[in-house]
A = this chain, B = another copy of it.
Amino acid sequence: MELSDRYRMVRNRTEVICKPLITEDFVIQPAEFVSPPKWHLGHTTWFFEKLILQKFISGYKQYHSSYDYFFNSYYESLGPRVSQPDRGYFSRPSVEDVLRYRKHVDEHMDLYLSEQISEEAEILFSLGIQHEQQHQELLLMDIKYIFGFNPMYPVYSSDSAFESEEIKEKNIFIQIDGGMYTIGHCTDDFCFDNEKPAHQTYVAPFRISKTLVTNHEYLEFIEDGGYGDFRWWLDEGWRWLKENQISAPLYWRKSDGEWMHYTLAGEKPVSMKEALCHISYYEAAAFANWKQKRLPTEFEWEIAARKFEWGSRWEWTSSAYLPYPNFKPNEGPTGEYNGKFMVNQMVLRGASIATPPDHRRITYRNFFHPHRQWQYSGIRLAE
């Protein structure tokens, strides 16, 4: 596909995701880890403006001098910015302003992409595309939080199939041989710096489930008193649970004796056959302990992933998010993209129903702090 087609398609998809929103939904930030949808629209645009237009088009004039401040996320090298928990404190620029900003940048990008671009620019272009795709998933996560936090439980899309993922296969464990394996990205296709370099790792023989844990299985844990029994929990998980009075996955609540959960199609009864979603690493690890199983490492996952279906839930692994041997962050501002977050987070592998379809790779490393629940996370057991 031509770069400009690819650009248009991805940029458009972001706006399609926002279609069901009303203006008010774009602005608020009901939790510090959530960003207002308006911010995502602006930030992804700023990324192209900052890394491509301002860099490669001589004479390009920044669209608005204060947008660096509003739309820089965490790039220390790109100057001061609104701190993450304050993103919901600004009504201006308006949604319309931001859409105009998108249009402006898109027009310039279109022009720019109509001619041959340098290799360096193409690398940054690809990063910009992947970056916007990442934010498409974040957008859905944040929209879900914004709606699911509201006691009126607004419907994002009445398409009830959305988000649901029935597990039909039997929960069998596949045997994987031990041995030396290559881990990480080794083709010429795009990947993030954290997937590289490809390297050899020894993995002992292991068994891994073909299927994700279902709501039904997780309910057994809940009903066995899992949230009240310290034996299954990491110490920090146990404290997290006590302090935040957690007793079920995010978006679940018991109403008139029935377990309900908020979905983007509205609040629904929890379907027993569907893949569990929205659990923290602490919950995933506790469940695995209770089952007398464990979570796979990210290496085991990568080795085994060709033998099972994946892609509806980001799957918690037991691996901390750390650099691969000889990891080198990108040069320049995008060196801040991944490497500086490599502490105190856990790796998730796979993809989710909220991930753009062409944004999945077997080597992809997603990562979140162990107490986060709002991503589309699930559990696959190993032993």
Q: Which residues of A contact B (CB under 8 A)?
A: 22-31, 38, 66, 69, 74, 76-77, 86, 88-95, 146, 149-152, 154, 180, 199-202, 204, 230-231, 233-238, 281-282, 285, 318-320, 322-323, 325-326, 340-344, 346, 370
Contacts and interface: CB of A to CB of B under 8 A. Distances in A.
A66 B153 CA distance: 11
24 contacts: A23-B24, A24-B24, A24-B26, A24-B27, A25-B92, A28-B90, A30-B86, A31-B89, A66-B152, A76-B231, A88-B88, A89-B149, A180-B202, A200-B204, A233-B340, A236-B341, A236-B343, A236-B344, A281-B343, A318-B323, A319-B322, A320-B322, A343-B370, A344-B344
Contacts of A234: 340-343
Contacts of A346: 343
The 5 closest A-B pairs by CB, nearest first: A320-B320, A202-B202, A30-B89, A24-B91, A76-B230
Query: A76, A91, A320 — which one has the most chain B CB atoms within 10 A of its CB?
Result: A91
A76 B238 contact: yes
A91 B150 contact: yes
B233 A28 contact: no
A79 to B, nearest CB: 12
A90 B90 CA distance: 15
Contacts of A319: 322
